[in-house]
Amino acid sequence: MSIMAVSCSDDDDWSAGNPTNAKGLNVYIASNNNVVLPVDGNTFEVTYVRNITDGELTIPVKCSTSTPGIFTSIPTSVTFASGQAEATATFSCIPEMEMFKTYSATIVVDEQYTTQYADTTINLPRAELSIVKEDYKVAKKGTYLSWWTEEPEPAELQYSEILGSYRFNAQTSGEFTFVFKLGKANEDGTLPITYSDSFVNVGAATSPAWAHSTYGIMTMKGSKKKASYYDPATKTYWFDVNFTVSAGSFGNYYDTFTEE
C-alpha cells in the first residue's frame, strides 16, 4: 500500500470532478464510522473496498474536518494490489486530543472510481467519522435481560477509571447505550445506581426486535421512578426502565444485567 501524508484540510472544499466511471467500478469505505482511540493511541485505519480487482489501482481520497489541526497527517491516496479487494490507510491524530471529546471528519473517494448508485446504504464512497479518545475497558461480561424482548443476550459492561463510570455500549451489547455510576453500599449490602445521563435505546433503528407491530419504534429510557441498584450477592444489576412508543408509555419495568 502506498500512502502520501499531508495535513488535513480544515474546510470541506470537495467539488464535483469527472463523471462516474462506465466500467462498473465501485470503491467504497467499509470502516466503522465510530473511531475509538485508547489513551495512548493516536492512529486508526480506514478500510477501502473495490468490487473489481483486476490489476493494481491507486485512487485519490479526500478528508475534511471542522476541527482545525486534529490530524498530523492523512493519506491522500490508497493503492490496491492486483487481485486485492481491500486496502487500508492509516490516519494520525495529534497526541493532545482531549479525552472524551468527539471530533468529526469526512472522508470521500473520488467520484470517478464510484458508481452512481450504491447497492446498499453501507457501500458508500463517503464516511462521516466520529473520533473519540477514551479509557473505557471491558470490566464484566454477562447477560442482559430486557422486559421488552424477554430474551437474554450476551453483553459487556465497560468501566472508565477517569470518569469512574460504567456503561453498556451499543457496539458491544447490541441494543442499548447508557452510562451509570455505583454509589456507597446500602444497609442491605446493595449499591445504588445513578445514571450519568438518561440512557436511550435507539429501538428499531438497530433491530426489528425493538419495533412494536402497531406503534413502531420502542424507546427505552432510564428512569428514577424506582430504585436502580447492584446486588453483589447475585451479581445482578437492576435498572429502572420506562418503555415508550408513539402512542404512549407501557410503564416502568426492571431490566437486569447478570455477571458471569
Closest CA to 114 of 53, 23, 31: 23
What angle is formed at CA 154 by the lines to CA 152 and CA 160, rounded to 5 degrees? 125
pLDDT digits (tens, 9 = 90+) for 114-170: 876 655 555 688 999 999 999 999 999 999 888 887 888 888 899 999 999 998 765
Would you state the pLDDT for residue 32? 75
Which residue range is the domain that position 95 belongs to? 5-133
Rounded Cα gap, residues 239 and 221, in angstroms? 10
Q: 77 and 43 in one domain?
A: yes
pLDDT digits (tens, 9 = 90+) for 62-97: 999 988 889 999 999 999 999 999 999 999 999 999
Our count of domains for the chain comes to: 2
Task: Tell me which of 41 and 174 has the higher pLDDT.
Answer: 41
Would you state the pLDDT for residue 172? 43
Q: 128 and 22 in one domain?
A: yes
Q: Indicate the residue among 102, 118, 133 that finishes a domain.
A: 133
Max CA-CA distance within the chain?
73
Q: 107 and 59 in one domain?
A: yes
Residue 193 C-alpha from the chain's centroid: 25
Bridge partners (DSSP) of residue 46 are 89
Q: 196 and 122 in one domain?
A: no
Q: Which of 14-23, 127-136, 183-192 has the lowest mean pLDDT?
A: 14-23
Q: Which of 15-24, 38-47, 159-168, 222-231 has the lowest mean pLDDT?
A: 15-24
Strand, coil or helix: 208: helix
Residue spans of beta strands (DSSP E) within 51-113 = 57-64, 71-75, 77-80, 86-93, 103-109
Strand, coil or helix: 172: helix
Contact 56, 82 (CB under 8 A): yes
Alpha helices in the chain (DSSP H): 170-173
Would you state the pLDDT for residue 205? 46
Q: Indicate the residue among 133, 156, 181 that finishes a domain.
A: 133
Identify the DSSP state of 67.
S
- Residue 187 predicted with pLDDT over 70: yes
Q: 235 and 180 in one domain?
A: yes
Q: 122 and 43 in one domain?
A: yes
Per-residue confidence band for 47, with pLDDT thresholds at 50, 70 and 90: very high
The grid coordinates of residue 30 equal 467499509
Show contacts of 186-195: CB within 8 Å, 24+ apart. Answer: 186/229, 189/231, 189/232, 189/233, 190/229, 190/230, 190/231, 190/232, 191/229, 191/230, 191/232, 192/227, 192/228, 192/229, 193/228, 193/229, 193/230, 193/237, 193/238, 193/239, 194/228, 195/222, 195/224, 195/228
**CATH code of the domain covering residue 67:** 2.60.40.2030
Whole-model pTM: value is 0.74
With cell 426486535, the residue in question is 209
Would you state the pLDDT for residue 7? 42
Pairing between strand 43-50 and 86-93? antiparallel
Contact 50, 85 (CB under 8 A): yes
Q: 111 and 145 in one domain?
A: no
Would you state the pLDDT for residue 133? 95
Count the Cβ atoms, other than its own, within 10 Å of residue 237: 25
Average pLDDT over residues 234-252: 89
Closest CA to 227 of 182, 192, 184: 192
**CATH code of the domain covering residue 189:** 2.40.128
